[in-house]
Amino acid sequence: MSAHEPGQGPPTTALVVDVDGVVSPTGRAGPLAWGDAVVAGHVFGPVLVSPGLCRALDELAARPGVTPLWLTSWTAAMRKAMDPFPGRTWPELVSDPDDPDLDWWKWAALCRWLDSNPEIARVAWCDDQLTDANLVGLRSPYRPAPPAADSVDAPNGTAVIHTELARRHIDARLFAPPTTRGLTPADVKLIAAFLTPPRGAEPVSARP
């Protein structure tokens, strides 16, 4: 799958976004960081969304060279039923039913997409599951698990993601907001700075 509709110029950066815990906090009992939360719809209860965050994500997706992608268990129909909601025209990455893989379907789906889009040099990935605690035992798709004797020294958790993306010469930033908080204005500023580094700035390699 290859897509680059919202922005202009060559697609060299991917903005990858989850829904639960990112666009819409879950399990929260207080106000959102954006201060403008509304009920966008209902999925097993009310879905809280910030119109300000929606606008900010759509603006990031429209930057030159940026390809936005949904990587979420939310279906297109579920997202379409929400209002407001970002990314109305963003393509989505899905699991491969012929590949029961592995440790985490999202990681496998992203790697498959990167295989088909070798021009991508930067990835900003927003998912509340991108923590070492959630990704214990994660390994790179298409690579066998390390022998038990080597498992202590093998990359683990988010280090697996950074190592694999660095191997692909991709500069990556992982944004893992607390599930009950979602992305904040401060997070969006960091994402924006990564998507469009200052002119003349040296790229920072993805850490192993």
What confidence score (pLDDT) does residue 6 get? Answer: 47
Name beta bridge partners: 69: 16
Where in the chain does DSSP place strands (E)? 13-17, 38-42, 46-49, 66-70, 122-126, 171-175
The answer to whether the bond into 25 is cis (omega within 30° of 0) is no
Indicate the range of 26-30, 45-49, 136-140, 166-170 predicted with least confidence: 26-30
Strands 13-17 and 66-70: parallel
Within 10 Å of residue 38's Cβ, how many Cβ atoms? 15
100 pLDDT above the threshold of 90: no
What confidence score (pLDDT) does residue 188 get? Answer: 98
Q: Residue 1: pLDDT band by 50, 70, 90 thresholds? A: very low
8 pLDDT above the threshold of 60: no
* Residue (of 68, 69, 75, 30) closest to 48 by Cα position: 30
What confidence score (pLDDT) does residue 197 get? Answer: 65
What confidence score (pLDDT) does residue 67 get? Answer: 97
The chain-wide mean pLDDT, for the chain, equals: 85
What confidence score (pLDDT) does residue 144 get? Answer: 53
What confidence score (pLDDT) does residue 196 get? Answer: 82
Which tokens in the block code for residue 12? 């060299």
Per residue in 150-207, pLDDT (tens digit) is 545 557 789 999 999 999 999 999 999 999 999 999 999 999 999 986 565 444 443 3
What confidence score (pLDDT) does residue 14 get? Answer: 98
Share of the chain above pLDDT 70, in %: 78
Strands 13-17 and 38-42: unpaired
Per residue in 105-127, pLDDT (tens digit) is 999 999 999 999 999 999 999 99
Identify the structural domains of the chain with CATH numbers, from first to last. Answer: 13-195 (3.40.50)
Name beta bridge partners: 48: 39
Cα separation of 206 and 202, whole Å?
13
Cα separation of 189 and 29, whole Å?
25
What confidence score (pLDDT) does residue 27 get? Answer: 84
| Angle, CA of 121, 122 and 124, to the nearest 5° | 160
Question: How far from the centroid of its chain's Cα atoms is residue 47's Cα?
Answer: 19
What confidence score (pLDDT) does residue 184 get? Answer: 97
Q: Residue 4: pLDDT band by 50, 70, 90 thresholds? A: very low
- Provide CB contacts within 8 A for 158, sequence distance 6+: 130, 131, 132, 135, 174
- Determine the average pLDDT of the residues in 66-84: 97
- Determine the average pLDDT of the residues in 34-52: 95
